[in-house]
Amino acid sequence: MFSGAGATVISFSVRKTILRVVDQAAELAQVTLAPERAGLVSVVESRQLAFDLEQRPVAKPTAANVDLLIKATLDTHEPELELPAVRVSGRMRRTLGSYMPSRKQIAISSRLLAMGEDDDIRQVVLHEVAHAIVHARWGSKPSAHGREFRLVCNEIGAKPRRYVDVATAQWGSQVRYLSKCGHCNVLIVRKRRVNSVRCICGLKLYPKSWRAVAPAERGTDGDWVML
């Protein structure tokens, strides 16, 4: 029954919806239920954790499309310039992209890659490519977003501005935190980095670290993408 590709897609989207609902139910239960009703809490929790048994894959964000966009842009506008592969950074918060002249390297925020709109990613990448081209043509003399920068932006189709406007307000609600039970290796997913969590194997865990992840909906390999 689930052998066809269509069936797989349907079951995936249903699973996601259920996962969200269960996620929210567990969240609500944890917040609103008094400790004496802990029995009910553990029922809700085990429902969510049972879902995690499916072990949605966790993948590193890939920037292959970004590298392709950069290469295509350079091939047309600055064919002599070669840049190393884009660095995907999980540490960038306010900055969505950067260009480091000493390494000729463009870095892109993993959050932008995982949760940004395609056009936002494109604009940020082209903005950084413009910096790279300015550096290749004029060295470090021109001011960062000066005349030369605007010239190159117009040439490659980037907005000739200091900033790229990206709506990031809703990204936070998509982020989840993931830990692994050291006993049974089940992945545990929560909306917050809680201090303790009980696994379906019965073990109470006090995770030292939670890994921030986002749902992979951009054609990446895993169901979760690391941030």
Residues near Zn ion, by CB under 5 A: 181, 183-184, 186, 199, 201, 203
Q: Which is nearer to Zn ion, 22 or 200 (CB)?
A: 200
Q: Minimum distance from CB of 188 to Zn ion (Å)? A: 8
Q: Which is nearer to Zn ion, 15 or 159 (CB)?
A: 159
User: Any idea what the Cα angle at residue 191 is, between residues 186 and 66, rounded to 5°?
Assistant: 90
Measured CA to CA, the distance from residue 107 to residue 17 in angstroms comes to 33
| Cβ neighbour number for residue 23 with a 10 Å cutoff | 16
Q: Minimum distance from CB of 182 to Zn ion (Å)? A: 8
Q: Minimum distance from CB of 14 to Zn ion (Å)? A: 26
Q: Which is nearer to Zn ion, 11 or 185 (CB)?
A: 185
Q: Minimum distance from CB of 122 to Zn ion (Å)? A: 15
Q: Minimum distance from CB of 78 to Zn ion (Å)? A: 17
Are 93 and 209 contacting, i.e. CB atoms less than 8 angstroms apart?
no
Strands (E), 172-227: 176-180, 187-190, 197-198, 204-205, 211-215, 224-226
Q: Which is nearer to Zn ion, 21 or 203 (CB)?
A: 203
Q: Which is nearer to Zn ion, 122 or 220 (CB)?
A: 122
| Token representation of residue 36 | 């004496």
Beta carbons within 8 Å of 209's beta carbon, 6+ residues apart = 179
